[in-house]
Amino acid sequence: MKFSKYNLIIPSKKKEHFYLFNTFNGSCFEIDSSIAYIIKAGSTDTLQEETRELLALSGVAIADEVNEDYVLAYNHGRSKYSNFSHMSTVLLTRDCNLKCAYCFQGTEKASETMTMEQADRYINFTLTSAKQSGAKDITIYLFGGEPLMNMDVGFYILDKIKSHCDENDMNFSSHIITNGTLLNSELIEKLLALNCKSMQITLDGIKEVHNKRRMYVNGNGSFDETLNALRLLNEIKDISTAIRINIDKTNVSDTYALLDFIGKDGENLTNCSISFGIVRTQGAACSGYSSNCLSDIETGDVQYELWSYAEKQGFKHKRKPQRRFIYCGMYCDNAYTITPSLDVYKCLEHVGVSEHLMGRIDEQGHLVDQTPAFYEWMTVDPFKNEECMKCVYLPTCGGGCGVTAYTKTGSYQAKGCYLVKGTVEKQVLKFVEDTMKSRV
């Protein structure tokens, strides 16, 4: 018997004991220093029989013949090339009614907007490629720019694809990422009828803070309209609404006041969830904002404090780290990001940057002209990367972010560590705290 290579030992806040978390299977224990020492030493021989059996049952200790690399690599490949679902993010327009300082969409084609003819080609591509791959599920994310600025086309797309799925016994869901300023009850009802399951709206601070970060093109603040949208959605149980708060050095301290304002002691928008987004400058459009961004070292502590404060204001979150065989869905074979002009990318943060173009959708609705970038992205394999193979975080990371890897090295194939080391430890500590509270 041997110890799993994915055992992470985390000191408690007061460092009087430790937590053992297995990043592959999610097992979590409180252990004393003697057990921590034995695990770090790497030999199971000195364990008491009862402890050995417990750790074996939990996957912390495994049989000598088990090779965890093979198990993880198999599941990585299976997740990557499973064709059950077809997922695409479609940018209805590159235009936006806001001009946020940190936005990665601020590139030269920002006025690009999808036409009905382009929508038909996108629909044909989606249905054809889903059929060819045998997908039983189609998921559409509407994005921009600001997607609500071109919702006639958005509704047209959703209606056509939903009708096809209904007729062919396929699952269909839609989602939208919007600034919320144009949202109203009529639009919400239409989205509900088209299986809209989730919506993300960004609110970056109380009024004076938000209005400095997220202003209209004419310079006026967008806080009041954004808040009104969240009030509407807070009453809708059939749409999961996430309030996205983008965090950097300029607003992190003010975020506590925002949580007071929108939490149970204020607007009570607690039917929504909270998503803390760490602003980063991986794309060329926002590179000038880098001095305002938090360092990787800072993010774990910052998020931990914000999670705890959000919980006090009535927002519920599950903080236990999740296993990820791949870093994100855009590494999947059946996942695409598509611009209004039908250029195809993988990650949203690369849209408009020619070196990251993956292909295009032709007049017949086929993906053509796949570039070298497409093949480099799709062959990223953390099990060919020595650093990833040795890393205890690999099961919660899946090899990391391609945007991060490229920004740091000029290649998607390098490791792309982002919001994992330092964050996982804080997630475990928060999970343990919440578990202990629930038992009281």
Pair 144, 225 in one domain: yes
Pair 164, 38 in one domain: no
Q: Let me know if residue 196 belongs to a domain.
A: yes
**pLDDT attached to residue 6:** 97
Strands in 239-303 per DSSP E: 240-247, 273-278
Number of folded domains that form the chain? 2
Q: Let me know if residue 334 belongs to a domain.
A: no
Pair 52, 92 in one domain: no
pLDDT band at 390 (very low <50, low <70, confident <90, very high): very high
pLDDT band at 215 (very low <50, low <70, confident <90, very high): very high
**pLDDT attached to residue 13:** 80
Pair 163, 229 in one domain: yes
In this structure, the dihedral spanned by the alpha carbons of residues 145, 148, 150 and 151, taken in order and rounded to 10 degrees, is: 140
Give yes or no for residue 250 having a pLDDT over 90: no
Pair 239, 127 in one domain: yes
Last residue of a domain, one of 14, 41, 66: 66
Can you tell me which residue has the tokens 């650093």? 387
Give yes or no for residue 223 having a pLDDT over 70: yes
Q: What is the pLDDT of residues 406-416, one digit of tens each?
A: 999 999 999 99
- 251 close to 213: Cβ distance less than 8 angstroms: yes
**Sheet holding 367-368: strands in order across?**
273-278, 240-247, 196-202, 171-178, 137-143, 85-91, 335-338, 343-345, 359-361, 367-368
Q: What is the pLDDT of residues 354-378, one digit of tens each?
A: 999 999 999 999 999 999 999 999 9
**pLDDT attached to residue 289:** 62
Q: Let me know if residue 133 belongs to a domain.
A: yes
Amino acid at 241: T
Q: Let me know if residue 156 belongs to a domain.
A: yes
Both tokens of 384, joined, read: 């060919």
Q: What is the pLDDT of residues 19-30, one digit of tens each?
A: 999 999 999 999
Q: What is the pLDDT of residues 255-300, one digit of tens each?
A: 999 999 999 999 999 999 999 988 876 554 445 566 778 877 788 8
Last residue of a domain, one of 312, 340, 355: 312
Domain at 305, CATH number: 3.20.20.70
Pair 97, 151 in one domain: yes
**pLDDT attached to residue 14:** 77
Q: Count of H helices and E strands in the chain? A: 15, 15
Among 24-28, 40-44, 98-102, the least confident range: 98-102
